[in-house]
Amino acid sequence: MLKKIGRLFVIKTRFEAYLIIFALALGAMTRGSHYTLQYPGVGGYMLWAATAGAVFLGGAKILDALRYERERDAASRLGQNK
């Protein structure tokens, strides 16, 4: 039963990854806009840029991991067919 629940939290497709990245970006930009209000001036905008950069890095890592897993699965299927 726990395996079935655990599979709900696994990103399987690029579409799912894009949805998660979008949600992360939405939250990060909201947090970034709060930073600009809390810290007016250059400091707030630097924190805002840092939240955006974190989403870019995290999103790239998610997409790379999906590609890696797809290639690994394809290689393992090729190895089993021989």
Model pTM score = 0.80
- Express each pLDDT in 17-68 by its tens digit: 999 999 999 999 999 999 999 999 999 999 999 999 999 999 999 999 999 9
Alpha-carbon distances of 66 from 10, 26, 35, 56, 62, rounded to whole Å: 10, 22, 32, 16, 6
CA angle 67, 57, 8 (to 5 degrees): 55
The reported pLDDT for the residue numbered 81 is 67
Q: Is 80 exposed, middle or buried (0-12, 13-18, 19+ CB in 10 A)?
A: exposed
The reported pLDDT for the residue numbered 65 is 93
